[in-house]
């Protein structure tokens, strides 16, 4: 059977039944009685049945009309429920947020920020895809993807919100420094054991700039080579070697003094932590609230102040 061409006719039909006459229904709907009558006739023609018995004094439902009226009422109620659900979702942060985040950034402190957001917004749920691959937010139906990229950021049709730099710094445990000494220059680190982030390989290159913008680099073979930040941080805490890590990942340890920064006069090229999402138009409050929460949390987190203090010394 072909679909009904205009579902509004179902609403008109139910209104006529509820009002008891075309005249009363037309007045309630703000339309002409003759036009309303034609709409009901069109509906009956599409269905191939008579829904209403018409006399000069009153209207009455046929048997099939009674059945059809019940379905119309249910359909109208469902439509209203759907509209109410949208209005409720748009009125306050609630519902599901589908997002993706790189492994290292999540391990480096974003997991704690997301947990605090969920605690502050009990009506919000998050479906988190933890992956280092580049997620297509449109094709995969993702509300937002957190990324870290070295500037300049590529042009994109996606909307973007930047949160700030992702700084990499050299750190070691106080015990390691007592054993090997505090390095004064990068050449001193070359003589020390190191632990590094990355994939398997014999050698790694760390690149820095000094305060005058002069490039320096260290090519070395690490004692531990891994793409897992938790393992790398544990190795640094256990005095296995000097670690080159995101400042965000060692913020608490630097504040507590269990890790110290080495060579603060050197800076690595920072990436930009940012979120990409399909569009700013039609963004539900839950996604907007998360973006705002991330911006504040990342700006206020101790890792930024720790990194800045280190650069100023």
- For the cut 50, the answer to whether the pLDDT of residue 271 exceeds it is yes
**Which residue ranges form the domains of the chain, and what is each CATH number?**
8-90 (1.10.10.10), 95-162+273-303 (3.40.190.10), 168-262 (3.40.190.10)
Cα(54)–Cα(76) distance, integer angstroms: 24
Q: What is the pLDDT of residue 127?
A: 96
Cα(34)–Cα(223) distance, integer angstroms: 87
Helix (H) / strand (E) element for 259: namely none
pTM above 0.85? no
- Three-state SS string over 134-159 comes to CCCCCCCCCCEEEEEECCCCCCCCCE
Q: Encode pLDDT of 65-117 as tens digits.
A: 999 999 999 888 888 877 767 766 666 788 899 999 988 788 778 899 999 99
Cα(182)–Cα(175) distance, integer angstroms: 11
């Amino acid at each position: 059977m072909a679909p009904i061409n205009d579902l509004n006719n179902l609403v008109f039909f139910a209104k006529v039944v509820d009002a008891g006459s075309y005249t009363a229904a037309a007045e309630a709907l703000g339309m002409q009685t003759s036009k309303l009558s034609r709409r009901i006739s069109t509906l009956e023609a599409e269905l191939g049945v008579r829904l209403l018995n018409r006399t000069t004094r009153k209207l009455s439902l046929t048997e099939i009309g009674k059945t059809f009226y019940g379905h119309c009422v249910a359909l109208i109620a469902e439509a209203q429920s759907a509209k109410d659900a949208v209005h409720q979702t748009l009125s306050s942060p609630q519902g599901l947020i589908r997002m993706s985040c790189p492994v290292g950034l999540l391990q480096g402190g974003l997991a704690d920020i997301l947990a605090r957001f969920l605690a502050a917004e009990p009506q919000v749920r998050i479906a988190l895809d933890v992956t280092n691959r580049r997620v297509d937010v449109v094709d995969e139906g993702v509300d937002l993807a957190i990324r870290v990229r070295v500037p300049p950021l590529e042009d994109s049709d996606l909307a973007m919100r930047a949160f700030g730099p992702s700084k990499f710094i050299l750190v070691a445990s106080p015990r390691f420094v007592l054993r090997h000494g505090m390095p004064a220059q990068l050449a001193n680190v070359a003589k020390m054991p190191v632990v590094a982030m990355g994939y398997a390989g014999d050698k790694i290159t760390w690149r820095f700039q000094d305060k005058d913008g002069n490039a320096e680099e260290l090519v070395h073979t690490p004692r531990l080579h891994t793409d897992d930040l938790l393992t790398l941080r544990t190795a640094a805490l256990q005095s296995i070697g000097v670690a080159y890590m995101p400042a965000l990942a060692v913020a608490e340890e630097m504040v507590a003094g269990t890790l110290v920064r080495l060579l603060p006069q050197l800076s690595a090229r920072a990436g930009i932590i940012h979120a990409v999402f399909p569009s700013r138009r039609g963004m539900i409050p839950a996604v907007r609230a998360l973006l705002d929460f991330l911006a504040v949390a990342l700006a206020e987190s101790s890792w930024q102040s720790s990194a800045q203090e280190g650069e100023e010394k």
